[in-house]
Amino acid sequence: MSDLAWLHGALAAARPQAMAALLRYFRDLDIAEEAFQEASLRALRNWPEKGPPRDPAAWLILVGRNAALDSVRRKAREAPLPQEVLISDLDDAEADLAERLDGADYRDDVLRLLFICCHPDLPATQQIALALRIVCGLSVGEIARAFLVGESAMEQRITRAKARVARAGAPFETPGAAERAERLAAVMAMIYLLFNEGYSASGGEAPLRSALCDEAIRLGRLLLRLFPAEPEVMGLTALMLLQHARAQARFDAEGAIVLMEDQDRTRWNGPMIAEGLALIDKAVRHRQPGAHQIQAAIAALHARSPRAADTDWPQIAELYRALEHHMPSPVVTLNRAVAVSKTEGADAALALIEPLGERLSAYFHFHGVRGAMLLDLGRSAEAREAFDRAIALARTPAEAAHIRQHIDRIQAEAAQGSTK
């Protein structure tokens, strides 16, 4: 790996901690960002020559803070502070700062940085865009490409989001336990939204947008370092790892959806699955089940099955029932119905699905699943109707193409029947 790749890796790794500390110091997102950028520029000039500092985050905080103060003072026509070339020799200052960073401050700093991106007034897409820009450090261009919009549109979106956050004022007092739990829940929800932005992409977009999944997993791991004993954080990170592990097998060469039961399981990512399973293992020991853990446990059962036929459907149906209890939603019931269809048959599944019609009438998967159950029971005409409604609601060409296959099969069977 080249020096430059190492440098960029080190800068990206130090970013959340450094940005979080600079934000606490300056209490202004723009100044914190400028300070971090200036420090990064100086690091690019300085580190290759002098070697990387012992603690890159501490170096960036110190240099960023001084550079920002320097520029303020320069504007005030005062004497500048020493340059970073001198500062980086002041090992004591760096060590002192590094020591202070180790404290609980660091955890609340980074949580705050993530939390200000989750302002309830910001629409989900703006929360995610802001987190990608501020915490992950993606460029506006990179974010725009992942969201499939123009760069200037994304620039505006982020500027508006920042202005909104600035007006709201970031919460700088140290949070109490209840407040910290609330912030953590909001941040976890935002991270899972970010993950799903990438995960729900399909076809030609999928490779571009799967970077969003990588960033979400990175944030999940960051959160785990801050809260190593929170089972729901373990569950969330495990869930994302186990789902993203299937990325290579979810679409065929033409970009068409490959259902889990038809996926080539040798293309699933082994190390990601191993990490996800290990996290679930740890979470279960706490005996505090939550929605993320249960979903991860379901994903784990799929990941543990060498072949689709080995899937433990009774256990999955049971877990969906538990999930309904933690997170009541017709979509969860729909998923339980799919598991029930494997254990008790399409009849039992359809009985669960029909009452959801009113609430899920505009949901693609509702009609798709319902059609598949009807087809299974030989009720082709009704199945055809359900598939037609599904196609009308498809959000991506891959979804539409998948339903089209069912319809083609019904038509082929009908044609065969009439020639008999």
Partner 1 sequence: MLYTILCYHSEAIVGGWSKAQDDAVMEKLDVVHQKLAAQGRLGPVARLLPTSAATTLRKDSDPPLVLDGPFAETKEQLLGFYIVDCDDLDQALEVARELGQANPGGAYELRPIGVYHSSTLPIDANP
The one-character DSSP state at 202 is -
DSSP class per residue in 4-49 = HHHHHHHHHHHHHHHHHHHHHHH--HHHHHHHHHHHHHHHHHHHHH
Decide whether 224 or 291 has the Cβ nearer to partner 1: 224
Interaction between residue 9 and partner 1 (CB under 8 A)? yes
Decide whether 178 or 229 has the Cβ nearer to partner 1: 229
- Among residues 120, 169, 176, 271, which is the contact residue for partner 1, using CB under 8 A? 271
**Residue 94 C-beta: closest distance to partner 1, Å:** 16
Interaction between residue 228 and partner 1 (CB under 8 A)? yes
Longest dimension (CA), the chain: 96
The piece of 187-195, 220-228, 345-353, 355-363 that touches partner 1 (CB under 8 A) is 220-228
Interaction between residue 3 and partner 1 (CB under 8 A)? no
**Residue 46 C-beta: closest distance to partner 1, Å:** 18
Angle between helices 29-50 and 56-75 (to 10 degrees): 120
The piece of 28-36, 70-78, 272-280, 316-324 that touches partner 1 (CB under 8 A) is 272-280
Of the candidates 219, 223, 264, 222, the one whose C-alpha atom is nearest the C-alpha of residue 245 is: 264
**Alpha-carbon gap, residue 71 to 76, rounded angstroms:** 9
Q: Which of residues 133-152 bind partner 1 (CB under 8 A)?
A: none
Interaction between residue 172 and partner 1 (CB under 8 A)? no
Interaction between residue 239 and partner 1 (CB under 8 A)? no
Decide whether 235 or 371 has the Cβ nearer to partner 1: 235
The piece of 63-71, 219-227, 310-318, 401-409 that touches partner 1 (CB under 8 A) is 219-227
Decide whether 249 or 394 has the Cβ nearer to partner 1: 249
Interaction between residue 275 and partner 1 (CB under 8 A)? yes
Of the candidates 54, 53, 108, 115, the one whose C-alpha atom is nearest the C-alpha of residue 84 is: 53
Of the candidates 66, 45, 176, 40, the one whose C-alpha atom is nearest the C-alpha of residue 111 is: 176
| Tokens at 214, concatenated | 């990588």
| Tokens at 230, concatenated | 């929170």
The one-character DSSP state at 344 is T
CB-based burial of residue 272 (10 Å sphere; 0-12 exposed, 13-18 middle, 19+ buried)? buried
- Among residues 182, 281, 388, 408, which is the contact residue for partner 1, using CB under 8 A? 281
**Residue 166 C-beta: closest distance to partner 1, Å:** 28
Decide whether 13 or 181 has the Cβ nearer to partner 1: 13
Alpha helices of 136-175 — where are they, by DSSP H? 140-146, 151-168
- Among residues 165, 279, 298, 334, which is the contact residue for partner 1, using CB under 8 A? 279
- Among residues 14, 61, 138, 201, which is the contact residue for partner 1, using CB under 8 A? 14
Q: Which x/- pattern over 176-215 shows residues binding partner 1 (rule: CB under 8 A)? A: ----------------------------------------
Residues in CB range of 251: below 8 A, 6 or more apart: 202, 203, 206, 257, 258, 398
The piece of 3-11, 116-124, 300-308, 411-419 that touches partner 1 (CB under 8 A) is 3-11
The piece of 66-74, 174-182, 277-285, 293-301 that touches partner 1 (CB under 8 A) is 277-285
The site that binds partner 1 (CB under 8 A) totals a number of residues, namely 25
**Residue 226 C-beta: closest distance to partner 1, Å:** 11
Interaction between residue 229 and partner 1 (CB under 8 A)? yes
**Residue 395 C-beta: closest distance to partner 1, Å:** 28
**Helix, coil or strand: residue 164:** helix
Burial of 298-332, coded b for 16+ CB within 10 Å and e otherwise, reads: bbbbbbebeeeeebbbeebbbbbebbbeeeeebeb
Decide whether 30 or 281 has the Cβ nearer to partner 1: 281
| Tokens at 205, concatenated | 């977009």
User: What is the helix (H) or strand (E) element at residue 402, kind and residue range?
Assistant: helix 397-419
Of the candidates 128, 134, 118, the one whose C-alpha atom is nearest the C-alpha of residue 18 is: 134
Point out which residues bind partner 1 (CB under 8 A). Answer: 1, 5-6, 9-10, 12-14, 218, 221-222, 224-225, 228-229, 234, 237, 271, 274-275, 278-279, 281-282, 285
